[in-house]
Amino acid sequence: MTDTSIKIEKVRGPWADVWAQFRKHKGAMAALVMLGALAVVCLLGPFVWRIDPNFIESDTVKMFKMRNQGPSFAHPLGTDQLGRDMLARMMFGGRISLAVGMVAMLVAIFIGTTVGVLAGYFRRIDGLLMRLTDLFLALPLLPLLLVMIFLFRDPISGVLGPRLGTFLLIVMAIGLTSWMQAARVVRGEVLALKEREFVLAARSIGTPSRRIITRHILPNVLSPVLVAATLGIAAAIITESVLSFLGLGFPPDFPTWGRLLYDGIAEIRTYPERVVWPGLAISLTVLSVNYIGDGLRDALDPRIRGR
């Protein structure tokens, strides 16, 4: 009776379980490392590599000498057709590409979750909102995006300036055209959650709908939303680069990876690396994000987690 040292296993929170399961997915872990490395290089790189990505030599003779250089110690990825340092431009472009992906995803997830929760929770507006979702799903999205950007780019740039204007327009346009999957998934979850005992209990003690949604519904739809959000980043980065590739993206002094690739296409035969680097960066980022989404889906699914 003296030393009954019972070993109490440390209680793990739900997120620790998720992390433990996530770590078993080798592809997702590798992807996490890869994405982390890419993000760190893009975000912190410019503090080490202090060349201005938009610096063009003002002396014409010097500028001509600087053009189209191959890799060297001064310019590890060479220079472009105007003598700008490609490494600096890649890091600058990466920041914008990642920012576009994140913000567009946030817009899409915000709209999608709102529509999904409202449609799932309030039966009266369910039919209307789902018709709206179906309508959006039946729209030809890429052509519409092109038309939207083309028609509104100049007016908005005139008001907000070319950088902020293009950024906001593209992010909003991508967000407005990619919320439908999230809305459908969330609605399905909410429909099932609404009939669960804890929601009924909350309602029986007179909790208003607003608080039921924020306290009980939203935390429980977090996992499908997280997965949708991860995959949404990948989709947004791809969409942005497609727009840039078709010439309806960012201005050249405010490039994304897609824009850099588009700029490289003209001289792909002589300087293929100028297409390969941005293309590789986009592909690796999107691949990593997709793998992380896959891993998250497995980790957040309680049916798989126990195994």
Summarize as ranges the residues that interact with other proteins (CB under 8 A).
27, 134-135, 138-144, 146-148, 150-152, 154-155, 234, 238, 241-242, 245-246, 248, 261, 265, 268-269, 272, 275-276, 279, 282-283, 286-287, 290-291, 294
Instruction: Give the type of residue at 228.
Output: A
Residue 223 vs 290, nearer CB to other proteins: 290
Q: Which is nearer to other proteins, 48 or 159 (CB)?
A: 159
Provide the minimum distance between the beta carbon of 237 and other proteins in the complex, in angstroms, as a whole number. 9
Shortest spacing between CB 31 and other proteins, in angstroms: 9
**What span, in angstroms and rounded, lies between the C-alpha atoms of 42 and 19?**
26
- Spell out a b/e string for 73-108, using b for 16 or more CB atoms within 10 Å of the CB, else e: eebebbbbeebbbbbbbbbbbbbbbbebbbbbbbbb
Q: How far is the CB of 101 from other proteins (least distance, A)?
A: 13
Least separation in angstroms between CB 161 and other proteins:
17
Which residue number, 40 or 268, has a Cβ lying nearer to other proteins?
A: 268
**Which residues on adjacent β-strands are paired with residue 85?**
79
State how far Cα 200 lies from the chain centre. 36
Q: Least distance (Å) from other proteins to the CB of residue 276?
A: 7
Question: Is the Cβ of residue 183 or residue 212 nearer to other proteins in the bound state?
Answer: 183
Query: Which CB, 8 or 138, lies closer to other proteins?
Result: 138
Q: Give the DSSP per-residue string, 31-100.
A: HHHHHHHHHHHHHHHHHHS---TT---SSHHHHHHHTT--S-SS-TT-B-TT--BHHHHHHHHHHHHHHH
Q: Which is nearer to other proteins, 221 or 234 (CB)?
A: 234
Nearest-angstrom CA–CA distance, 94 and 216:
38
Cβ-based burial of 296 (10 A; exposed 0-12, middle 13-18, buried ≥19): buried
- Contacts for 161 with CB less than 8 Å, ≥ 6 apart: none
> Considering the complex, what minimum distance in angstroms separates the CB of residue 78 from other proteins?
17
